Structure 1
């Protein structure tokens, strides 16, 4: 078996806790998206309650150029309504849903493998 070191120049989620996430040493306390795509920066995701989610929150994720979107649904696992995912489905982009802590860990693994992945992390007050 040939082993190769991980090569990643993408953003890394360094730490997380209740109400905050640290990306490349910068702490965030609001919902955000993090992308492994070259030149990307963490961006505020303008939603702070699961119940406020709509299709338009998933449209920028579909336009990002990612091959996979990870949705961190907060402290507990909640699945998005199928209608919200229409922009992703139309472009053939996969979506995985998990709680925010699991989404952070999964993003780091996929980004370290060089995958084109975006994570949308819901931070509820």
Structure 2
């Protein structure tokens, strides 16, 4: 078996999560969070599209975690993101964190916006 050490370049991976928080790069971040090459920042949830639209030139795919259960994005939010050229994948937050970490470790241009479980 061959083991490879994973190095993350610009953005930090999600180390863990729990009720109402995420652990990102070893630090606890309460509430919803947005991770991108710009760094880690709090996120106001599905009504807060500003940080997400700002990613249009920096990422190919934005993973949106909708909490413990998968939910549909509000239509206007999806339209604004796709209109800005941001590819959007919606899933529950645990799956979004895992997928983001895998693609980030491969050096892909990805971002993550997640609601806590």
TM superposition score normalised by structure 2? 0.83
Normalized per residue, the structure richer in helix is 1
Q: Structure 2: any 5+ residue segments left out of the alignment?
A: none
C-alpha distance in structure 2 between counterparts of 1:8 and 1:24, whole Å:
10
Partner residue of 2:61 out of 60, 64, 68: 68
Residues 31 and 45 of structure 1 are in contact (CA less than 8 Å); yes or no, is this contact kept in structure 2? yes
Q: Structure 1: any 5+ residue segments left out of the alignment?
A: 48-52
Aligned to 2:29: 28
Computed over aligned residues only, the root mean square deviation of the Cα atoms, in angstroms, reads: 1.9
C-alpha distance in structure 2 between counterparts of 1:90 and 1:100, whole Å:
24
Offset of 1:5 from its aligned partner? Answer: 6.5
TM superposition score normalised by structure 1? 0.78
Q: Is 2:93 aligned against 1:92? A: no
What per-residue deviation string (whole Å, max 9, x for no partner) do you get for residues 26-50 of structure 1? 0112111011x2xx32100023xxx
Aligned to 1:8: 8
Residues 8 and 111 of structure 1 are in contact (CA less than 8 Å); yes or no, is this contact kept in structure 2? yes
Count of residue correspondences: 111
Partner residue of 1:120 out of 73, 97, 113: 113
Offset of 1:18 from its aligned partner? Answer: 2.3
Residues 65 and 91 of structure 2 are in contact (CA less than 8 Å); yes or no, is this contact kept in structure 1? yes
C-alpha distance in structure 1 between counterparts of 2:102 and 2:83, whole Å:
26
SS of the equivalent of 2:102 reads: helix
